Amino acid sequence: MRESFQAKVKMRSRSDFSSETHIKFPSSVTADEFDKAVVPFYLRKGTRQPLLLDFAATKYIDVAVLFNLISLFVRRQQKGRLETFVGLSRDKKVRDFLRLWRFPKAFDDATGIEFKDILVNEDRQYVGEEQTTYNGFGSGLNALIYDRDWVKSRGKRNFFEFTSYLLGPKQQSLFTSSRNAIPRQESERWNNSLVREVLTTHLFRRKNSDDVARVVIYESISNAVRHPRADIIQTTSLFQSARHSPSSHVKGASIAGHLRIFVWDDGQEIVETLKPLVRASKSIRAVRLTYPYQYDSIYFQVSKFGDQASVNSIVEQDADPSSNASEEEILLSSLHPGITRTIEQRVDNVEPLDDATKPESLNWVNQQGMGLYALTKTALDSYQGRIQIRSGKHRLIMEIAKDKIRKDNAVHYDCRVTRYPDRFPKFKGNLLTIELPIRVYE
């Protein structure tokens, strides 16, 4: 039996923390708000002190923040088991959301520490409270959010909840005993009839709903499985209203929000997998597209965190990064067609999808280096959505270029990369977020 975190450190109350070590989050906490609140702590001395991340006033917490929380906790543990505590929201709906999406279990899986053991003393009263916010009544979407028969079926309470795939020597999985089967198994889970019906009903581009399972899910998890030194993969998702979505319009059409899909692994950062090969001028392009017109131009903006100014350029997808390319350029290149480290480094294959579920038009996806490219094309061009990558010192956001940028620069995509301060802990591993618009009912 592992020793509890509580047995190793003194449990604390809010009054034990100074104003500098007690980070109070606002009513609405996005990933940006989380970073803005935490970065100042790391730009001063005394970062080894116990730290309290307090969500007491929070009424909305973005799912990306939960991965930021896991990442920061892991990094502080790696720095010498620095003590980190969490204060829960006073809003029952927020606490029910964390419970129903099984975040406490996901935190335990990722850190090896029970979530209840990092709560401040005042909030331990919430441990074990009954979930009352979600009831599963109503549309098919509500049934996916909360399955009222989950106790009898012993299945998931919530289709979208956090799912952990534990890799490494003690390999475990909820759905398979084989690491290389994880992408196929998760894709099949998204391909059941109720899920497909919900996607067809809600997605802005309904005719492409099957591609969520066979491209978006399969390729995003295949990418995570292949990352070096990954011991865990976690995935979760949710339908999010326009109030909390990144954009409320798609080329002039109003949308109701987004289906947001998150896939995180704790492996080597994307830039670090490609950078040694780029610096050594080794090949990272496994496939060349047949015709020049198949490559797109990208408006590329690079900025520092908290800085409005950016360095802008045009990047062509058919151009390989030079040996002195910036880390930001290397990160962007990972989304280009044919780019992969597998030319120089052996990587195990993942189990393919059942050929009967995949049209011939997607056969090219199986070629080396085409997975993330296929995912990008599907999310952006087919669904009019966007993707985000948070990895190491960077965050990348990519979407179809809006009219002014597209016309003024003759580009198809708009990509923005933010670099975080060197003193701020690197984001652990790689978080891929896919955001697909959902339609407004007429």
pLDDT (tens digit per residue) in 234-256: 999 999 987 776 554 566 567 88
Domain, as residue range, for 319: 134-442
Q: Roughly how many angstroms between the first and final C-alpha of the chain, as a whole number?
A: 56
In the predicted structure, residue 48 carries a pLDDT above the cut 70? yes
Residues 325 and 359 in one domain: yes
Is residue 232 a contact partner of residue 266, using CB atoms and an 8 Å limit? yes
Question: Can you give the CATH number for the domain in which 15 is found?
Answer: 3.30.750
Q: What is the spatial distance between Cα 113 and Cα 132, in angstroms, rounded to a whole number?
A: 26
Residues 97 and 182 in one domain: no
Q: Pick the range with the lowest mean pLDDT from 91-95, 158-162, 350-354, 385-389.
A: 350-354
Q: Copy the structure tokens of residue 10.
A: 């003194």
Instruction: Quickly state the pLDDT bin for 1 (edges 50, 70, 90).
Output: very low
Residues 236 and 91 in one domain: no
Q: What pLDDT does residue 361 have?
A: 47
Residues 384 and 440 in one domain: yes
Pairing of strands 386-392, 253-265: unpaired
Residues 310 and 233 in one domain: yes
Residues 341 and 386 in one domain: yes
Domain end call among 93, 126, 159: 126
Residues 427 and 403 in one domain: yes
Residues 122 and 173 in one domain: no
In the predicted structure, residue 46 carries a pLDDT above the cut 90? no
Residues 121 and 222 in one domain: no
CB atoms within 10 A of CB 324: 9
Residues 183 and 68 in one domain: no
Query: In the chain, how long is the greatest CA-to-CA distance?
Result: 65
Residues 224 and 118 in one domain: no
Domain end call among 64, 95, 126: 126
Total domains in the fold of the chain: 2
Q: What pLDDT does residue 242 have?
A: 77
Q: What pLDDT does residue 152 have?
A: 63
Residues 138 and 121 in one domain: no
pTM (two decimals):
0.93
More confident residue, 212 or 368: 212
Nearest alpha-carbon partner for 174 in 91, 109, 126, 239: 109
Domain end call among 74, 101, 126: 126
- Calculate the average pLDDT of the chain: 89
391 forms beta bridges with 394, 430
In the predicted structure, residue 358 carries a pLDDT above the cut 90? no
In the predicted structure, residue 3 carries a pLDDT above the cut 60? no
Mean pLDDT of 114-135: 95
Q: Copy the structure tokens of residue 207.
A: 């005719």
In the predicted structure, residue 287 carries a pLDDT above the cut 80? yes
